[in-house]
Structure 1
Amino acid sequence: MLDPAPPAPFHDLLGLELIEWRDGFARVACEAGPRHMNRSGIVHGGVYLALIDQSAAYAGLYCTVPGNVRRAVTVDLDCRFAGQAGEGRIVAEGRVVSSGRNIFFARTEVFSSDGRLLAFGASTHRYRRGSHLPEGVPVDAPVEKD
């Protein structure tokens, strides 16, 4: 079980899939198709941004207790586009650079199915209450506004 959290409708909308997850690292994939294209027939930059955001967040939210979850909000995210892709598998790899009690920082790269760099970015995330701990909180615990 890679993702113990409740379903994420936005992930479903884009077709994002968490394919590898461990402490400080996450790999998220998307099978880009016609719905992911912009008017020029290439993958929309928003898809890359979503992949960067989600893989970076997951990298900082690995939970050591089955059935629990860790949550965060994205505080800052930047992206540089380095290539273009059409239909096919796109994979983002997020890595935690550093973390503290309330904040963690991550770097992410997005690759095409043939290994070309498509985008890269850096992001800052703030843990939700209780999520700074590796064991997280019960998945059904109410999410409080911090």
Structure 2
Amino acid sequence: MEEIRDETGTQRLVGYVVEVGHADGFARCWLDVDERHLNRHNVLHGGIATILLDNASGTAGSLTVDAAGLTPFLTISMTTQYLASGKRGRVTAIGKVTGGGRSTKFISAELRHEDGTLIATSSGVYKRVPQEKLK
């Protein structure tokens, strides 16, 4: 298992970690939730929950073409369903490719607290960034 840390400004700001290389082939994105990640109701901010789901999903797409999980995939559309309040402690999003072709993927994700509580789910469409756009 490999951890990707401090790759982007958002990752450094929020403090999440991306994991690749799990035996199941799924991408993971986790965060140790503290007071910086809470909203005015003292629970995980929904925008941060969505960041975790989106990163796990994009990385899941990347893993279909790159075992290191570094090939960029962009979010075309994403729907998030909030199911329970997130609290302090570790939360982990797991992204799974559910369909698609070579460059466009349908990906779902779940965000769970370390106690097993399902906090949110998402489904989205992600597109591989063409190599010529990376130069």
| Structure with bigger gyration radius | 1
Which residue does 2:94 correspond to in 1?
Answer: 93
Asked if the contact 1:36–1:44 (Cα under 8 Å) also holds between the matched residues in 2, the reply is: yes
Aligned length: 132
Asked if the contact 1:21–1:59 (Cα under 8 Å) also holds between the matched residues in 2, the reply is: no
Q: What amino acid is aligned across from residue 120 of structure 1 in structure 2?
A: T
Q: What amino acid is aligned across from residue 112 of structure 1 in structure 2?
A: H
- CA–CA separation in structure 2 for the residues paired with 1:57 and 1:97: 13
Gaps of 5+ in 2: none
- CA–CA separation in structure 2 for the residues paired with 1:35 and 1:73: 26
Which residue does 1:47 correspond to in 2?
Answer: 48
- CA–CA separation in structure 2 for the residues paired with 1:126 and 1:18: 19
Which residue does 1:17 correspond to in 2?
Answer: 17
Tell me the C-alpha RMSD between the 2 structures: 2.5
* Structure 1 position 6, deviation (Å): 8.2
- CA–CA separation in structure 2 for the residues paired with 1:81 and 1:103: 25
User: Percentage identity across aligned positions?
Assistant: 25
Matched, 1:70 2:68: no
Which residues of 2 match residues 1-146 of structure 1 at below 5 A? 2=2, 7-21=7-21, 25-62=26-63, 63-64=66-67, 69-130=70-131, 143=134
TM-score by length of 2: 0.86
TM-score by length of 1: 0.80
- CA–CA separation in structure 2 for the residues paired with 1:46 and 1:6: 19
Q: Flag the structure with more relative contact order, 1 or 2, with Cα contacts below 8 A and sequence separation at least 6.
A: 1
